[in-house]
Amino acid sequence: MKWFGQFSFKTRVFLGCLLVALVPLTFSSVVVTRLFTASINRQLAMEGNRQLEEVSAKLTQLFENCEKACEAFTADGTAARVMIDKDAIEMQKDLYLSLYQAVQEIYSSAQFSIYDSGGKLRFTTDTASKNSALPIRWGLLKKAQEARGITYYRTDPYLPGTDKNILMQGAYSLENSHGARTGYVVLDFSRENFDNLLNGFYSSGDTFLVLDSHQRPIYCSSPEYGEKEINDIIFHGVSGHEGEKGREVYTRYLWTREPSQGIYVILRRSAPISAEAIRTMGTVSILLSALGLVLCLMISGALSRGIAQPVSQLDKAMAKVKRGDLSIRIHTNRQDELGRLTESFNQMTGDLQKYLEDTVQKQKDLNKTTIKLYQTQLNPHFLYNTLDTIKWNARINQIPEIAILAENLAEILRRSISSRPFITLREELETIKSYIEIQKIRFTGRFLYETEIPDQLEECMVPRMFLQPLVENAIIHGLDGCENGYICIFADQKDGVLSISITDDGCGMDKEMVDWINSDNPLKRDGHLGLYNVIRILKIYYGQEYGIRAEVTKEGTTIALRLPVQREVTDV
């Protein structure tokens, strides 16, 4: 079956269709023809054997009847006496009478004659003239002398004295009461007798052949057959050869042997269906097969093309996709599975293309952010030193506010330009603390700041400077105009998600702002760059499911951040 796999898909579909359509057709036509002829032959043989049985039984019956007739005729001994006593005309009349009576039953089957012991004809029921003498030292009478009952004898066609019309003779020795032979009863079986006997047992195509116990022909139901044809039939019967092989329907040769006299009967049955008809059957089935082949070629060709064409189109398109051409689309009008498959392919390449473009855009955005970040790191040491100078000058000049401002600013600056994108939550909170210190000086302690962070969460890694914009928001916008404001940063962990909330009890937030924060992908917004950046950072770093939610209640505003709990930072 390996070779089959080497063909292309189209060829395989084609060959498969062809096989499936042709093999059953051819096979069934062959089987039907063969079964048909076989059953006919079987029937032929069975019927022939039955006919043979019947003929054989009929022959046996005939022989029995002849025997009976002879016995009845000779039982009283008159016949034997008349042979010797030639003068008694009265007795001769009686003899004829008893002769006719005895043979009544088999009158149509045989002619009776009586020959005296010297072989001379004395009485006969045969109306035709016949030989007046039979040799007693040769042939029939010689055979009868040595046998009891009736002896049957095939007449010898080569002997000049033989009546050609008589095919078989039987002889019955006529003996008087002392056991001396006085004559013979001779039965003649002519061609007509045989015709009568076998009539109705065979149809026109059949031939019956009756052979004597030495297998020499006695009678042939086809009178036109010469020696050659008869010998041919005997040859087939003897050798058991079936005639005319290779023609599907045979001429059958059947035979049987009549049990009492050993006479053979051969029946030659010619086929009821001529070889011509068989040939026609063969031709028709071949033509049907040819028609089937043509139809098959057409349909399986169309089918295989219909299946294989879209598949090969898809195959080629896929090869292009592999090379990176995502713009490829296959046009199809089909509504079936292959049509849907093609459409799915089109959709898939479209999606892939869009996704690729998105990814490229994201990368560009990231690059832009990074560049911006780098720009902010310019000349940090100069700024530190300056701030340090400011701090020490303030200490010297006893202006502690400025010293605190400068110190915390330097701290925030260091954090904000650090090259590490992620820092621990503790570090971030320290930054916030610095920021609060500065803001407390700005707003002269109008608010209270608290953190509520569990110790184990302090080492969580978080993006750098991501809380600062929110705290700034809370101080600048939330506590705007408030005396004694309150800001609390609260962290919690649940199911690997770190929640950090920044709550203020200020004036709250307008609705539009809340919606903007809570939307999935908030657009850039003027005046809220810090907040926007925090949202973007969370989304980019951790994915879409993390981010910020805002909640405004009567007590104040809570901004909740959701991000995964990470003890160490994986590469971004």
Partner 1 sequence: MRLSDSTRKRWPAVCALSLICCILLSSCRLETGEQPMNSQADLVVYSVQENGICEPIVKEFEERTGFNVKVENGSLEELLKKLEDGSGPYGDAGEAWDVVFGVGIETLEEKKEYWQAYESPENPFIAGAFRCEDRKWTSFSACPLVIMYNTNVVTYREVPAGWSSLLEPRWKGRVAFVDPGLSDIYSSALATAAYTYRGEGDYMKQLADNLEYGSLSSLSEVNSGILDGRYSLGVTIEGAAQALRSGGADVDYIYPKEGTTVLPDGAAIVNGCPHPEAARHFLDFTVSKDAQRILVSDLNRRSVRMDVPPLPGLSPVNSLPIIDMDLKGLSREKKEIQKQWNKVLTVYKRRTGG
Q: Which two tokens stand for residue 534?
A: 């925090």
Sequence-ordered list of residues with C-beta below 8 angstroms from that of 122, at least 6 positions apart, any chain: 83, 113, 114, 115, 116, 183
Applying CB under 8 A, does 2 fall inside the site for partner 1?
A: yes
Measured distance CA(480)–CA(68) in Å, rounded: 153
Q: Which two tokens stand for residue 439?
A: 């803001």
Among 11, 20, 30, 529, indicate the residue that binds partner 1 (CB under 8 A).
Answer: 30
Among 179, 223, 226, 240, indicate the residue that binds partner 1 (CB under 8 A).
Answer: 240
Among 254, 429, 467, 470, indicate the residue that binds partner 1 (CB under 8 A).
Answer: 254
The DSSP-derived string for 327-367 is T--------SHHHHHHHHHHHHHHHHHHHHHHHHHHHHHHH
Applying CB under 8 A, does 20 fall inside the site for partner 1?
A: no
Burial grade of 515 (CB within 10 A; 0-12, 13-18, 19 or more): exposed
Measured distance CA(513)–CA(497) in Å, rounded: 25
Nearer to partner 1 by C-beta: 218 or 537?
A: 218
Q: Which range touches partner 1 (CB under 8 A), out of 90-98, 131-139, 339-347, 439-447? A: 131-139
Among 127, 129, 148, 158, indicate the residue that binds partner 1 (CB under 8 A).
Answer: 158
Among 172, 194, 253, 447, indicate the residue that binds partner 1 (CB under 8 A).
Answer: 253
Q: Which range touches partner 1 (CB under 8 A), out of 32-40, 191-199, 202-210, 549-557? A: 32-40
Measured distance CA(164)–CA(194) in Å, rounded: 14
Exposed e or buried b per residue across 398-416, where buried means at least 16 C-beta atoms within 10 angstroms of its C-beta: eeeebbbbbbbbbbbbebe
Applying CB under 8 A, does 31 fall inside the site for partner 1?
A: yes
Q: Which range touches partner 1 (CB under 8 A), out of 79-87, 149-157, 199-207, 370-378? A: 149-157
Q: Which two tokens stand for residue 68?
A: 């009976």
Beta bridge partners of 175: 181
Among 156, 351, 401, 555, indicate the residue that binds partner 1 (CB under 8 A).
Answer: 156
Nearer to partner 1 by C-beta: 73 or 255?
A: 255
Applying CB under 8 A, does 242 fall inside the site for partner 1?
A: yes
Among 63, 208, 255, 345, indicate the residue that binds partner 1 (CB under 8 A).
Answer: 255
Q: Which range touches partner 1 (CB under 8 A), out of 234-242, 278-286, 316-324, 501-509? A: 234-242
Beta bridge partners of 188: 111, 169
CB–CB of 459/426 below 8 Å? yes
Determine which helix (DSSP H) or strand (DSSP E) holds 166, and give its type and residue range: strand 166-175
Q: Which two tokens stand for residue 324?
A: 């990176």
Nearer to partner 1 by C-beta: 42 or 279?
A: 42
- Per-residue binding string, partner 1, 34-73, x by CB under 8 A, is xx-xx--xx--x----------------------------
Q: Which two tokens stand for residue 289?
A: 């097969």
* CA distance readout (Å), 284 to 163, 249, 568: 54, 17, 87
Nearer to partner 1 by C-beta: 37 or 558?
A: 37
Nearer to partner 1 by C-beta: 35 or 318?
A: 35
* Sites for partner 1 among residues 169-228 (CB under 8 A): 214-216
Let me know how many helices (H) and strands (E) the chain has, helices first.
15, 16
Nearer to partner 1 by C-beta: 67 or 212?
A: 212
Determine which helix (DSSP H) or strand (DSSP E) holds 299, and give its type and residue range: helix 275-322
Determine which helix (DSSP H) or strand (DSSP E) holds 450, and give its type and residue range: strand 447-452
Q: From the CB of 62, what's the least distance to partner 1, in Å?
A: 21
Q: Which residues in this chain contact partner 1 in the complex, by CB under 8 A? A: 1-2, 4-5, 12, 27, 30-31, 34-35, 37-38, 41-42, 45, 135, 137-139, 142-143, 153-154, 156-161, 214-216, 237-242, 250, 252-255, 257, 264
